Amino acid sequence: MKKFELFRKYREIKMNPYIEILRPGNALMGAIVIILIAIIDKTFNIPLLLALLAVFFETAAGNVINDYFDYNIDLVNKPERPIPSGRISLKNGRNYGYLLFALGTICGFLISYLTNNWIPFLIVLLADVVLYLYAYKLKSTPLIGNLAVGFMTGFGFVFGGFTLNNESIILTSIFLGFFAFVMTTARELVKDIEDMEGDKSEGARTLPILYGEKITAILAVILIIIDCALCPLLYFYNIFGFYYLPIIAIAVLLFLYSALLIIKNQKRTTAAKVSKYLKMGMLIAFVSFIFGSF
């Protein structure tokens, strides 16, 4: 009975709507980029810990405020989410998002104060603006919204590089940031295909709604191929060592398989599957960065 009670309590914690709305897996994936930068530079300190927290809070804040503005769309596309399901009120969702933005901004300020380098703080302020504008307006703007999400994902690497404030790691972080920017933008295009039904009901002007699923899929595939072509350069330019190659090869195969699926079929179910595969591929790519640093 005691074990059952502990399990029940664990499930309650796990299913708490205020945790669920953060999309913690997503937020942690964002924070992982800081750990990757720390491993690549073989450095870990208080500013990097604060950077990790800042990225987690900012990503979580973006997820929460996005759910606040997407309430009507999610009633169609994702009715099980905390706000459309009624487990969190609109007002509480908005205030929760503001709190998370504030926590991320405080972390950015502390990084700059401790390192006497105000670029990280400015990056966090820029993230606040872009994430809010994305949720409020940019998401429904064709391609611009997709680029905004890709930009913020890639910017996490750059943020880590400037937190360390070391010229060589800054250059590496920019290269990795570009890789993440391109693949995330491709995934966002695929997600737009997946979410067409709900987006149409809200009058959103996403790329697949305006120009069709096929054109959107072709653009996503072009971006995926660009990133796959970039992957070997990280080895040839001595950013990563030999152990990077076999692991990134798995990610590249998954990326190319995803591209093949979405170019052949743009159904909602296929787009959902491809979106998951691209996310898995990015996680595998991140693992290759770690092993390539040894």
- Inside any domain, residue 7: no
- Residue with structure tokens 């080895």? 235
In a domain, 6, yes or no: no
Kindly give, in sequence order, each residue whose CB lies less than 8 Å from that of residue 146, ignoring residues fewer than 6 positions away: 185, 188, 189, 192, 207
Residue 14 in any domain: the answer is no
3-class secondary structure, 239: coil
Reply yes or no on whether the pLDDT at 26 is more than 80.
no
Look over the chain and give the mean of its residue pLDDT values, rounded to a whole number. 86
- Specify if 2 maps to a domain: no
Grade residue 33 by pLDDT with cuts at 50, 70 and 90. confident
The answer to whether residue 59 sits within a structural domain is yes
Q: Identify whether 9 is part of a domain.
A: no
Does the residue 76 lie in any domain?
yes
| Nearest C-alpha neighbor of 186 from the set 122, 281, 68, 95 | 281
Residue position matching structure tokens 């924070």: 31
CB count within 10 Å of CB 48 equals 19
Is 111:163 a contact under the CB 8 Å cutoff? yes
With respect to residue 166, please indicate whether it lies within any of the assigned structural domains. Answer: yes
Q: Which residues contact 63 (CB under 8 A, 6 or more apart)?
A: 21, 22, 23, 26, 27
Give, in degrees to the nearest 5, the angle at Cα 22 between 16 and 25.
Answer: 100
Of 118, 213, 232, the C-alpha closest to 165 is 118
> Could you tell me which residue, 121 or 164, shows the higher pLDDT?
121
Instruction: Give CA–CA dist 61/69, Å, rounded.
Output: 12
44's CB contacts (< 8 A; 6+ apart) are: 38
Number of CB atoms found within 10 A of residue 202's CB: 15
Domain extent for 164: 19-292
Question: Helices 268-292 and 244-264 sit at what angle, rounded to 10 degrees?
Answer: 170
How many domains are there within the chain?
1
Residue 83 belongs to a domain with what CATH number? 1.10.600
Structure-block tokens of residue 170: 């800054």
CA distances from residue 251 to 21, 57, 92, 230, 267 in whole angstroms, order as listed = 28, 28, 39, 12, 23
Tokens at 77, concatenated: 């596309």
**What confidence tens digit (pLDDT) does each residue in 128-178 have?**
999 999 888 877 777 888 888 888 888 889 999 999 888 878 888 888 899
- 162, 119 contact by CB (below 8 A): yes
pLDDT of residue 2: 44
pLDDT in the model for residue 8: 42
pLDDT tens, 191-246? 988 888 777 766 677 888 888 889 999 999 999 999 999 888 888 888 888 999 99
